Every structure is written in structure tokens, then in C-alpha cells.
Amino acid sequence: MQEHQAIKTNQYLEIPEIETILEGVEYIIMAAPSPDHFSATPVHVTIFLNTQERFSQEIKEMIFDKFCQDYKITASAEVMSQLMPVGFATTSLGSAMPMLLVKTQDQNAIPHVPLHVIDFLAASDQFEEVVEKSLSGWTYVRE
């Protein structure tokens, strides 16, 4: 497997900058390689829904099923779907990188907004570069 360098964070965005970036965004989808021992689900997918709404379990399942259908996800594991703190950073890539802030120390140090996040491991032929080249990336999907 080819080794690639981690994406370097240049600067964290402040909340007004984050709000500007999120204007007109429906969701952001991020894909990265799963840890090697998850061979049946080689893609780590994080979907950042541009909403602070709290969904019922039934609605969460419907949203997840729609993403699985749209991205031809054939297997999933370790699914988490909830409101979470999300920071954004500039990198050498074109668009700001969303960052799920799990650690309390990161939440205290990095400006963030709450977004509904769906995070899981998956199998799908829609993420060839992740599987074949071990690349990570994200896409902003606009309304």
C-alpha cells in the first residue's frame, strides 16, 4: 500500500468564517481509509449535515438509508448519528476541511459549530481513490 502524508492544517476558522462557508451547503461528505483490520468496510465516511436539528431515531435511519442508497454503500459498521461539534481548517487543498471534534481539549481549543454528523465505516465502489490509493477527501454538496 502506498503511504501518503497526512493533510496539514494551516489555520482553524473562526465561527463567523464557518457560518459563511456553510451558507447554501446541504451537507459535506468526507471519506478516508478505515483502519486495516476493517477489511470488510475499507472506507471511513463522515457526513456533516448542515443542520443543528435533533432527529428521532426513525428519521436518522431514513437519512442514513438514503445516503447508503445514493453512495452505493453495500456494508456499514460502527454507525454514529448525532449532533456533534465540528471545526473547520484551511489546508493546502481548495476547500476548508471539516473536523469532527471528539476530544474535550479540542472542543475547548478549536472554534466550532454543532452539526448533525453521521460517522461510520463502509464498503462502496463510489470511493475508489480511498480504497485503491489510500487518499482522503471531502466534498461540499450545495442545496
For residue 2, the model assigns a pLDDT of 42
The string of pLDDT tens digits covering residues 78-95 is: 999 999 999 999 887 778
The string of pLDDT tens digits covering residues 121-140 is: 999 988 988 988 888 889 99
The string of pLDDT tens digits covering residues 9-59 is: 779 999 999 999 999 999 999 999 998 888 899 999 999 999 999 999 999
> Mean per-residue pLDDT for 54-81?
95
- Does residue 71 have a pLDDT over 90? yes
What the block records as the C-alpha cell of 20 is 459563511
Q: How many residues are there in the chain?
A: 143
Alpha-carbon gap, residue 28 to 20, rounded angstroms: 14
For residue 5, the model assigns a pLDDT of 55
Q: Assign 33 to helix, strand or coil.
A: strand
Domains of the chain: 25-86+115-142 (3.30.1360)
CB-count burial class (<10 Å; 0-12, 13-18, 19+) for 21: middle
- For the entire predicted model, the pTM comes to 0.91
